[in-house]
Structure 1
Amino acid sequence: MFRRYRSISLILRILIGLVVGALLGVALPSWTFIGVLGDLFVGALKGIAPILVFFLITTAISRYKRGAENHFGTVIKLYLIATLVVAVAAVAASYFFPIKLIVSDAATKAATGTSAAPQSLGTVLEQLVVGAVSNPFGAMIEGNYLAILFWALMIGSALRLATETTRQTISDITDAIQHVAQLIIEFAPFGIVGLLFRSISENGLNGVARYGQLVLLLVGTMAFVYLVLYAGMVWLETRQNPYPLIFWTLKTSGIPAFFTRSGAVNIPINLQASEDLGLSKSSYAISIPLGGSANSGGAAITITIMTLAAAHTVGVPVSWPLAFLLCFLSALASTGVSGIAGGSLLLIPMAASLFGIHNDFAMQVVGIGFIIGVIQDSVETAVNSASDLLFTAAAEFGDARRDGKPIDVNARVRQARKLE
């Protein structure tokens, strides 16, 4: 029965969960026990997320090979700059269009009962330094993501000196934890039934309509980033009209990624597209897989906007210094997003901890993310995957221009279209 259940597309299952949760919330608002499904789902995410983040970052650092950046300096530069730029754009979007979320009353009380967020940059830095060196086991129990990030970096760096067998063992453990997280996400439709039921039964349909505003803000920001900011970065590299390449990468890589919702699944598509563009195999064979973790602009947008929406909901004032730190934290966190659907949502609590937002409330925000994930996660994956291809091409074309051997980008795109 479970195999039959999993054979149905996760997107379709989530859509069914949305419909069932809405119908039950309208027709049977007194059946409060249905909301327990949402509590179970959020609780499971709350339990696995800190462990998942720790092992993902530890494994990535332990596998890092010195000197790799020397061969791919331009593409890595584009990946990192793009991730930071989109985080700044997401902060600006949240300032212009602030959104308050609809969550359970208990979660709101828990969040507002915490200490106020620090107001000065000095206080923030002090809390970051002190909080980062907390006991790593206690950090995973309490959901202290800043400490988890610090110790993952430290232990991952130390493991670079370990034997290959040890590093492979850690990698295998990480794969197992990701499998458990994926298994939890398989039951997301049931959690969504409970979450949406509780939202509708407590706040009515008008309250849930705010989710639509959140989706519009997320998707609108991602579209602006890809069509304007990324296009500008490509122009700076190539000094040619970027839009033929922009639209071709969206069509070739973005559309498949939208429906699969998996950057890992889309890697072979990007590799073939790179070959069709006539790019150097010695370059794209590494830069495309690398982009799956180092280039996660869509994830940075999701983490930033959802975190600021949580701050607006509980009334935490967001100063520019705090917002600036959030940009760096979101950019850093997004590079550790796992390859599973909804992976960026599991990193929201780490960013929310910067504002003193309680972990229980942050996990409620994660639950909302899964409700809107049918659209949000699909668009996010499309942006991430298509930009891997986009920046790989832009880096090679840009280096050729600087070496005095300019390449006609539009001619390459026309060539690639003929090979499709």
Structure 2
Amino acid sequence: MKNLMKKWNELSLVKQIIVGLIIGIILAVAIPEAAKPIVIIGSLFVGALKAVAPILVFFLVMSAIAQHKAGHETNMKSIIVLYLLGTFLAGLLAVVASFMFPVNLTLTANAENVTAPGGVAEVLKSLLMNIVDNPVKALYNANYIGILSWALLLGFALRNAPDSTKIMISNFSEAVSQIVKWVINFAPLGIMGLVFDAIATNGIESLLSYGQLLAVLIGCMAFVALVINPIIVFAYIRKNPFPLVFKCLKESGITAFFTRSSAANIPVNMSLCEKLGLDKDTYSVSIPLGATINMAGAAVTIAVLTLAAVHTLGIKVDIGTAIILSVLSAICACGASGVAGGSLLLIPLACSLFGIQNDIAMKVVGVGFIVGVLQDSCETALNSSTDVIFTATAEFAKRRKEGKEIVINR
């Protein structure tokens, strides 16, 4: 048993996760009823990540801002540009793909007990209200916009505080980071429970009737991950982008795929940024911000499902309206929540652009929930891994300009 544990500990976390993944699949196929209790492990893992992530973000951002040295540059402007550019290009790709491969839906499903926003103004108002949310409420509800705003304000307010105060905040930050590392060590068991639950509950059969829709959705997300993102990275760092892209997909995308929450994956991304040797002052802010506004996968989901409804209803769409949809899907995606299924509730907003009634739009949302077992997993994997890719890209581009060597740690 000792030798087995020693060999297990020698494996990298990604290899351990793959082992957990395989075991989860085998148990779900072979003995789904007998192995049902392991579902609780997956729920505990995601629950622990979601519980610790808001506190981690709050202390990391506050500590980074409070201890920021004058004259020390960060790359936040470049990162925000990358986030917005990537989200817009994903929405544009989804529009083009939807015209090339039109999808017709059977609108029988409905989404109950959900409320969609009434317009872009409502989405923007919600974002602004989240900024001024009560700090305790923001932490309790995992409102990352509110957490970020309070952490930034407190960080700036503490810039002139005594060193002892800054050290105390830094110690809290390091303590929460250590707790996160402990939680992440349980990722193989957690993902085993999550994949078991996904297969045992939904099965693959329930998705077969939506094969074409899933093909367009997942195809667009794969194209963004493997073509558009690498092109953007290459344009900035002028080096082979794939080592960075594949590392982020492997170490961030896999856990995000199963947790289906950009917010829950924040601790994983923080750890990956540390491994890549990135500036903590930058990634402690850019990663939680990315979990809120860097939503390429959400832009794809909104555009594809909206145009699927348009094709189903036989509505004619001109090029100008399609471009507006690309922009709208990007704006809506930035307002999508960092939790599972957040982008689906913004589909009625995009559908309103084509005069589609809300009751029909909510049926499209219902279809989205049906395919969500794969769609939302792929969407979150793309969104979350891209947070690290663009954070790293901005820093590597800065190093290239300074003539420094770019090294992607293996």
Please, what TM-score do these two structures have when normalized by structure 2? Answer: 0.63
Alpha-carbon shift at residue 353 of structure 1 (Å): 1.0
Deviation at 1:352, TM superposition (A): 0.9
Q: Tell whether 2:231 aligns with 1:264.
A: no
In structure 2, the residue matched to 1:221 is: 220
Deviation at 1:339, TM superposition (A): 2.1
Deviation at 1:149, TM superposition (A): 2.9
1:168 corresponds to which residue? 135
Distance 1:277 1:98, change over 3 A: same
Q: d(CA) in 1 for partners of 2:116 and 2:216?
A: 31
Distance in 2 separating the partners of 1:303 and 1:79: 17
1:382-393 aligned at under 5 Å gives the runs 382-393=381-392
Q: What is the identity, as a one-letter code, of the residue corresponding to 2:119?
A: Y
1:345: how far off? 0.8
Task: Check 1:78–1:150 CA distance in 2 against 1; reply closer, same or farther (3 A cut).
Answer: closer
- The 1:365/1:275 distance shift into structure 2, 3 A limit, reads same
Give 2:17's aligned residue. Answer: none
Deviations 1:138-161 (A, max 9, x none): xx999522342354467678x5xx
Report the equivalent of 2:118. Answer: 144
1:16-415 aligned within 5 A: 72-104=76-108, 144-149=118-123, 151-152=125-126, 167-168=134-135, 171=138, 209-402=208-401, 404-408=402-406, 412-413=407-408
Residues 277 and 209 (structure 1 numbering): CA distance in 2 closer, same or farther, change over 3 Å? closer
Secondary structure of 2:367's partner?
helix
- 8 Å CA contact 2:302–2:343 kept in 1: the answer is yes
Deviation at 1:406, TM superposition (A): 3.4
Counterpart amino acid of residue 281 in structure 1:
K
8 Å contact from structure 1 (residues 102, 210) kept in 2: no
1:333-372: CA deviation from partner (whole Å, max 9, x where unpaired)? 1111112211111111111111111111111111111111
Work out whether residues 302 and 344 of structure 1, in 8 Å CA contact, stay in contact via their aligned partners in 2. Answer: yes
C-alpha contact 1:257 1:381 (8 A) present in aligned 2: yes
Aligned partners of 1:92, 1:379: CA distance in 2, in Å?
A: 19
Preserved contact between residue 117 and residue 346 of structure 2 (Cα < 8 Å): no
Cα 1:399–1:71 change in 2 (3 A) is closer
1:370–1:229 CA distance, 2 compared to 1 (3 A): same
Helix, strand or coil: the match of 1:407?
A: coil
In the alignment, the residues of structure 1 paired with residue 38 and residue 344 of structure 2 have an alpha-carbon distance, to the nearest angstrom, of 23
Query: 1:92 Cα deviation (Å)?
Result: 0.5
What is the distance in 1 between the residues matched to 2:280 and 2:116?
Answer: 45
Assess, with a 3 A threshold, how the Cα gap between structure 1 residues 169 and 267 changes in structure 2: closer, same or farther.
closer
Deviation at 1:313, TM superposition (A): 0.9
Give aligned pairs, total.
289
* RMSD of Structure 2 on Structure 1 (CA): 3.3
Partners of 1:143 and 1:359 within 8 A in 2: no
Query: Which whole-Å CA distance do the structure 1 matches of 2:127 and 2:371 have between them?
Result: 32
Q: Distance in 1 between matches of 2:284 and 2:124?
A: 30
CA distance in 2, matches of 1:282, 1:142: 36
Q: Residues of 2 paired with 1:319 and 1:377: CA distance?
A: 29
User: Which runs of at least 4 in structure 1 moved beyond 4 Å after TM superposition?
Assistant: 140-143, 153-157, 172-176
Q: CA deviation at 1:71?
A: 5.3
Q: Give the superposition deviation at 1:167.
A: 3.9
- Provide the C-alpha distance between the structure 1 equivalents of 2:106 and 2:209, rounded to a whole number of angstroms: 7
CA contact (8 A) 1:258 1:379 kept: yes
Query: Structure 2: how far apart are the matches of 1:383 and 1:153?
Result: 22
Amino acid at match of 1:96: M
The SS at the match of 1:230 is: helix
Q: Which amino acid aligns with 1:83?
A: T
Question: What SS does structure 2 have at the residue aligned with 1:94?
Answer: helix
TM-score of the pair, normalised by structure 1: 0.62
Matches within 5 A, 1:7-22: 7=40
Structure 2 gap ranges (5+):
1-36, 44-64, 66-72, 144-197
Higher percent of residues as helix = 1
2-side partners of 1:325 and 1:222: how far apart? 20
Distance 1:143 1:393, change over 3 A: closer
Q: CA deviation at 1:5?
A: 11
Letter in 2 for 1:74: S
| 1:136 match | none
Q: Which ranges in structure 1 are unaligned for 5 or more consecutive residues? A: 11-64, 108-139, 160-165, 177-188
Report if the CA contact (8 A) 1:307-1:351 is conserved.
yes
Change (3 A) 1:71 1:251: closer
Taking every aligned residue pair, what percent have the same amino acid on both sides?
Answer: 45
Deviations 1:220-269, CA, capped at 9 Å, x for gaps? 11111111110000000100000111111111111111111111221111
Query: Aligned equivalents of 2:368 and 2:140: distance in 1?
Result: 27
Q: Residue 400 of structure 1 aligns to which amino acid in structure 2?
A: R
Judge conservation of contact 1:101–1:210 (CA < 8 Å) in 2. no
Give the conservation status (yes or no) of the 8 Å contact 2:286–2:391. yes
